[in-house]
Copies of this chain bind each other. A is one copy, B any other.
Amino acid sequence: MAYEKKIPVDLDCPLRLTMSLIESKWKSCILDELRSGNAMRPSEIHKCLPEATPRVLDMQLKEMVEDGLVGKTIFPELPPRSEYMITDLGKSLLPIIDMMLRWGEEHYDVFEKKYGSKTP
């Protein structure tokens, strides 16, 4: 089986545990997209995060399902249909996501001045 993380999460330290669940490139954004509680199909999620390839969304959603942050429903239809929905455990991370979102908004200009070049 290809593509398995060696260490699924980091149990050594509570801070690293939380970080390890959300630190890969798109997981925090996926949680943010699913925050409403409505189920979303993979193609919808991709429309909301067009910079992420479908492949990477697929892989990260799979891990989030495994970690219990997101639930998945597969409909036995053709063409195939599936839906992802945030779980209660995933919802419990939303206050953290919210804070990071607000922090980023509040301090955006500092980093735009330092590193930015007007959305290159």
The interface of chain A, by Cβ under 8 A from chain B, is 8-9, 11-19, 22-23, 28-29, 32, 51, 67-68, 89, 92-93, 95-97, 99-105, 107-108, 110-112, 114-116, 119
Contacts and interface: CB of A to CB of B under 8 A. Distances in A.
Nearest to A27: B19
Contacts of A100: 14-15, 18-19, 96
12 contacts: A8-B115, A11-B108, A11-B119, A14-B102, A14-B104, A15-B29, A15-B104, A17-B104, A18-B103, A92-B107, A93-B103, A99-B99
Contacts of A19: 22-23, 28, 100
Contacts of A15: 28-29, 32, 97, 100-101, 104
